[in-house]
A = this chain, B = another copy of it.
Amino acid sequence: VEHDVTAQTRVRPGPRRTLSEEDILDAAMALLDEGGANAASIRGIAARVGVAPNAVYTYFPNKAAVVDALVERLLGDVDHGMFADPTQPWRVRVEALALELRSQISAHPAAVQLLVGGQVGGPNALTLNERLLELLAEVGLEPADAARAAYALLAYGFGSLALEVAYLRGAPGPLPPEAERVATRRARLTAETGRFPRTVAAADTVAGEISTDQYLWGLHRLLDGIAPAGA
């Protein structure tokens, strides 16, 4: 074997701190988007940032912590602009938040599975809940009803997201355009026309409707029930 010069320049252990928590989360998110929930592995992240697998444990205690941080960062990217604007009608503000959350999270479909697995109890998650409670208090709901209403709204938004992403079955990549999703859902069902006529008909009826419109329809029915007077 010839004299190996590269052996001396080869990466040696030692403090370098070329990485940051953000770098790791960036890598995790990229893997998530490219390869689905399973692709965001510690080993995959390490490979992507060019480091040994166990080096990740210098930045996060375990994989759950990475996932939590990822979800938190995602929630932190939610734009509070219109939601926080007190000059807007409260329904417009709630709708804006609902749409922001939906677009932010469904931009990374695989993250929804992580969301459901985790606690969603980090600072950014709590901040969102806090702002929502403030708004509901402004509307005139007494604390107990505001609490119940916030829970209901959260559950509905959460569930809609899960239904939307269920379409993918964990397949990697971004969500296809809404029209395509609606068409696919319908096509899958047509085989079942005999046994589930109403389900198929329902897919037909709302076929022209993008799923965001269905999402907003339900949201407003819930709001109707919560504050019927239309304060």
Q: Chain A interface (Cβ within 8 Å of chain B)?
A: 37, 64, 112-113, 116-121, 123, 126-127, 129-130, 133-134, 137, 143-144, 146-152, 154-160, 162-163, 166-167, 169-170, 188, 192, 195-199, 201-203, 205-206, 214-215, 217-218, 220-226, 228
Contacts and interface: CB of A to CB of B under 8 A. Distances in A.
A162 B195 CA distance: 29
A159 to B, nearest CB: 3
A159 B166 contact: no
A192 B162 contact: no
Contact of A214 (B123, B151, B215): B151
Given A112-B116, A169-B119, A159 B154 contact: yes
A202 B206 CA distance: 37
5 contacts: A37-B117, A147-B206, A149-B221, A156-B156, A224-B225
Contacts of A119: 166-167, 169
Counted per complex, copies of this chain come to 2
Contacts of A221: 149, 152, 222, 225-226
A208 B67 CA distance: 32
A222 B228 contact: no
A144 to B, nearest CB: 5
A191 B53 CA distance: 34
Nearest to A160: B155
Contact of A130 (B167, B199, B217, B223): B199
Given A156-B156, A205-B143, A162 B163 contact: no
Contact of A163 (B143, B154, B163, B206): B154
B228 A224 contact: yes
B148 A218 contact: yes
A151 B201 contact: no
Query: Which 5 A-B residue pairings sit nearest by Cβ, starting from the closest?
Result: A159-B159, A152-B218, A221-B225, A224-B225, A147-B202
A217 B148 contact: yes
